Structure 1
Amino acid sequence: MTPLQNDPITELISRLYLPGWCAALWRLSGNWGIEVPEKTVSLYVVTQGSGWLVFDSPQMSPIRVISGDHVMTASGEGHRFVKQFNNQAEPVAERLSSSFWPTAPASQDDCEVVYAQFELEQLAANPLSIGLPNLVHLNHRRDAELKSCLPLVDLMQQTAQDGEPGWQAMVRKLSELVFIRTLSAQLRMNSSRNDGSAPLRVVKAMTDTVVGPVLNQVLASPESQWTVPQMARMARVSKSAFSDRFRNLLGQPPLQYVTDLRMQKASRLLHESNLEISNIAVLVGYESPSSFSTAFRRWNGQSPAEFRRHRKASESPIAATLNREAMKVG
């Protein structure tokens, strides 16, 4: 791919429609709290201090948010962003109506955050239902993909500090770039973590409106008992339409792709752990060690035991020599 060709994320971003996009810089002092209603996608970039994200849904556990974090509620889940669990929270609309950005130095206990949001109410479908987790949680001090956000955030804060006419519009535009970078980082990290051999192909599939939501679930739990009819129902298309689209995007039929993911996971477990092969079989979705061994041999040309033995021997030639000599003595 040449630099002039659009990559999948560029194609996705060019199609994004973010109705009601707004952004602000907040310095939160005292026992602060912000309440965000459902069907609102929010982005938090914390530059100082910390807080808690507490969700309306009991299925979603609260998370601690610290300095450097980028947190995106990609599914639009209602939530509170609070200093402490029991804090009262003001509606986010009231906080956004204030255009004031404090110019005095922040105290050590303050939380400074870049906040941005768009509304799902006007959309027939969530544009982020494309292979993202419901909650994106990254950190620009830890994740190399987000290092480029630091000068953007610095520019936002300096623009607000200067207070020149139009600074709020600049904050909105710059925050959109940070949002795009966070979205891009999560998609690229997902694809390289799950299929490092072909990240752009996986990213393109993850950003596809039909295959993406299903692929996200498959990548999260390849050990589940997947079937093509089940995947097609999730995608709301026919079985043949889903299979054709999946193959065109990823170069493999759906179940072959699932098998590859399982075998890659099994290879890592065989190499990096001392788990019994029967336990690994269960962890990668097989009901019996024999069915797992058959599938693994078909995929790799070796049984799981042979693969583990050869990998360990190749990494420790001295140990392998000693083992051979011990076997001769025995």
Structure 2
Amino acid sequence: MDVLSETITAIRTGDPTCGMFARHAPWGRGYPRVPGTGFHVVLRGSCWLIPPAGDPIALATGDVILMPRGAEHALVDSLGSVVTERAHLGEPREILGPGARSELLCGAYELGRQRSHPLLDELPEFVHLPAHPDRNPALRGVVEILAAEMARPRVGTDAAIPPLLEAMVLFALRAWFEAQGPARSGWAAAFTDPAVIAALRAMHGAPERAWTVPELGALAGVSRATLTRRFAATVGEPPLSYLTRWRMLTAARLLRETETPLASVARRVGYQSEFAFAKAFKREYGLAPGQYRRKDDAPAVVAV
């Protein structure tokens, strides 16, 4: 069970969106906060990302930057340029001019934020992955395919874009965690701790099972106390607290994406009683499962 992929799948809502735009210096473009993970890929030229607080981030050709929580920001061709436009639907994708040309692929990956996940919560507001010829070949490859499809749409492009965007976000997150090197805490450490990742895979693979910490410890090859200590230090909460979180995220996805009967959803996330499941779900989401399913959760329109 791939914990990173399972996590993103569980909190995803709808399909990712993206668009290309080209500007000639001078230019400045503002981006509002979005309900999910935003991203930019510099296909040609260079620019600066201006965060609401903190230092500007220089972006060069091939760089990828993620906003895991959709942070507000601006892009400018140089630090002296003024923001004169806001990302919005219907705007021209290319504006000609005498200055240096920049081309960017921008988009958003919608996530259900009613119940968060610590994997994304611990990431910085801006995850910058500079281009490097010897690093992240998978990420570079999917970016090149995306750029080609966007620059010259053909038969099948509409179907190809969403899975390519999903792969790009997953590869970017994987690259970020791998770049952290040896870590003592956080999800970067969880992914490299054999005992913790074994427990996570077990819970992700069978959320319906009535796991106990001794069972998870035996499966991971460590004592109950050792697993509890290492799990809390990396994941940020005890194993059974995380199990409840994962069950609720899984249930929410099933309610959003399927017509599975409520009793079946309850059993698939470890509750033999539909009443007990409904009570636990309402405690986390503020709505009974049936209300959550009927709620109009139309995806927000995101300008890219």
Shorter-chain-normalised TM-score: which range?
0.5 to 0.7
**Matched residue, 2:44:** 48
Question: How big is each residue's C-alpha offset from its partner over 1:135-182, in whole Å with a ceiling of 9 and x where there is no partner?
Answer: 2111242662x2112232222232234332553553344222211210
Write the mapping of 1:98-247 to structure 2, written as runs, cut at 5 A. 109-119=100-110, 123-127=113-117, 129-141=120-132, 144=135, 146-165=136-155, 167-168=157-158, 170-190=160-180, 192-195=181-184, 199-201=191-193
Does the CA-based 8 Å contact 1:8-1:204 persist in structure 2? no
Higher relative CO (Cα under 8 Å, sequence separation at least 6) belongs to 2
| 2:103 alignment partner AA | E
Matched, 1:253 2:242: no
Structure 1 unaligned regions, length at least 5 = 1-5, 209-243, 259-330
In structure 1, the residue corresponding to 2:177 is in which secondary structure?
helix
| 2:192 alignment partner AA | L
Does the CA-based 8 Å contact 2:21-2:105 persist in structure 1? yes
CA distance in structure 2 between the partners assigned to 1:91 and 1:250 by the alignment: 51
Give the structure-2-normalised TM-score.
0.54
Question: How big is each residue's C-alpha offset from its partner over 1:197-252, in whole Å with a ceiling of 9 and x where there is no partner?
Answer: 974338967xx8xxxxxxxxxxxxxxxxxxxxxxxxxxxxxxxxxxx9xx979736
1:183 to partner: Cα distance? 1.4
| 1:137 alignment partner AA | H
CA distance in structure 1 between the partners assigned to 2:232 and 2:170 by the alignment: 32
Matched, 1:63 2:57: yes
Matched, 1:9 2:4: yes
Give the structure-1-normalised TM-score.
0.51
In structure 2, the residue corresponding to 1:170 is in which secondary structure?
helix
CA distance in structure 2 between the partners assigned to 1:118 and 1:17 by the alignment: 8
1:255 to partner: Cα distance? 11
In structure 2, the residue corresponding to 1:164 is in which secondary structure?
coil
Write the mapping of 1:259-278 to structure 2, written as runs, cut at 5 A. none
CA distance in structure 2 between the partners assigned to 1:197 and 1:12 by the alignment: 16
In structure 2, the residue corresponding to 1:124 is in which secondary structure?
coil
Does the CA-based 8 Å contact 1:24-1:172 persist in structure 2? no
Does the CA-based 8 Å contact 2:61-2:131 persist in structure 1? no
1:108 to partner: Cα distance? 8.9
Change (3 A) 1:88 1:180: same
Identity %: 19
| 2:183 alignment partner AA | N
Structure 2 unaligned regions, length at least 5 = 201-216, 218-222, 235-304
CA distance in structure 2 between the partners assigned to 1:175 and 1:255 by the alignment: 31
In structure 1, the residue corresponding to 2:182 is in which secondary structure?
helix
